[in-house]
Structure 1
Amino acid sequence: MASTESKRQQRFASVLQQDLADIFQRDGAQWAPDTLVTVTKVRATPDLAIARIYLSFLNAKDPQQAIATIKSHAGEIRYKLGAKIKNQVRVVPQLEFFIDDTNEYVARMDQLFDKISKEPRQEE
């Protein structure tokens, strides 16, 4: 089976990403106070029944706690999403939330490279 997503999956994921971004912009503060929640990526299963949503948290004291809280509100978030997309889909997908730690990874790599560049060079 090919790992690439179909155009249909990509379009669907794109619609979900936009609508979820709107939901988090409007209602995100109640789930993650003082935190900017960004929907970084959405992946849909081939049957569009499950959407995997990757979130990044800016200013979150504890991203693990933030994602746990959002997961506990998945039903409510799915309901709000359903209200937005009900005319475009037959079934509102199950939502699975994950932390997108790409930014943390990049920051760690930057720190490592800084550290390496500051170390004295050894003669060959």
Structure 2
Amino acid sequence: MQETKRQKQIGQLVQQELSGIFQRMGFNVIEGGMISVAAVKMTPDLLEAKVYLSMFQIKAPAEMLERIKERMGEIKKSLGMGLGKQLRRIPELSFFLDDTLDYVFKMEELFKKIKEDDANIKEGKK
């Protein structure tokens, strides 16, 4: 089912606010890596938000995700203060790892390997 315009608007609003919260909490640049809020998907009733986090050069993404979940109360309180005037109810947050960057890097490696293999085949035939 496709997201409605309202779901997208609220998702973007939550994403922007969470990005600011992560910066204030020091999660955006941590342990030599970066964490960013890649996307927020809202349920049709706007009471739940799936937050996808992109982690770049973080050694243990699963552990970092757990550290973020441990501070859920603080994050939700800050979100309520930031969005309280725009939303009746602050959505329940669920955090997930966004593996889009990993997928992109794997695809780039595969394309590089294919090019190298093609070059080796052409050199072998000549």
Q: TM-score, normalization: structure 1?
A: 0.88
Give percent identity, aligned residues only.
39
State the shift of 1:58 in Å: 2.2
Query: Is the aligned partner of 1:88 residue 2:86?
Result: yes
Alignment partner, residue 99 of structure 2: 101
| Partner Cα separation in structure 1 for residue 108 and residue 8 of structure 2 | 31
Single out whichever of 43-52 and 57-66 deviates more from structure 2. 57-66
Q: 1:116 aligns with which of 114, 117, 121?
A: 114
Q: How far does residue 121 in structure 1 lie from its aligned partner after superposition?
A: 2.6
Q: Which has the larger radius of gyration?
A: 2
RMSD, matched Cα: 2.0
Q: Which residue of 2 aligns with 1:46?
A: 44
Deviates more, 1:88-97 or 1:32-41: 32-41
Unaligned 5+ segments in structure 1 are: none
Query: Matched residues in 1 for 2:85 and 2:69: separation?
Result: 25
Q: For residue 25 of structure 2, what is the amino acid of its counterpart?
A: D
Distance 1:112 1:68 in 2: 31
For residues 32 and 64 of structure 2, what CA distance do their matches in structure 1 show?
Answer: 11
Structure 2: any 5+ residue segments left out of the alignment?
Answer: none
The alpha-carbon distance between structure 1 residues 33 and 8, as it changes in their structure 2 partners (threshold 3 A), is same
**Judging changes above 3 Å, is the alpha-carbon distance between structure 1 residues 54 and 33 closer, same or farther for their aligned structure 2 residues?**
same
Which runs of 4 or more aligned residues in structure 1 lie more than 4 Å from their structure 2 counterparts after TM superposition? none
Q: How far apart, CA to CA, are the structure 1 residues paired with 2:97 and 2:71?
A: 15
How far apart, CA to CA, are the structure 2 residues paired with 1:60 and 1:94?
Answer: 26
SS at match of 2:26: helix
**Per-residue deviation at 1:28?**
3.1
Please identify, of 8-17 and 114-123, the stretch whose mean Cα deviation from structure 2 is larger: 114-123
Number of residues of Structure 1 aligned to a counterpart in Structure 2: 121
Q: 1-side partners of 2:80 and 2:54: how far apart? A: 22
Distance 1:70 1:77 in 2: 9
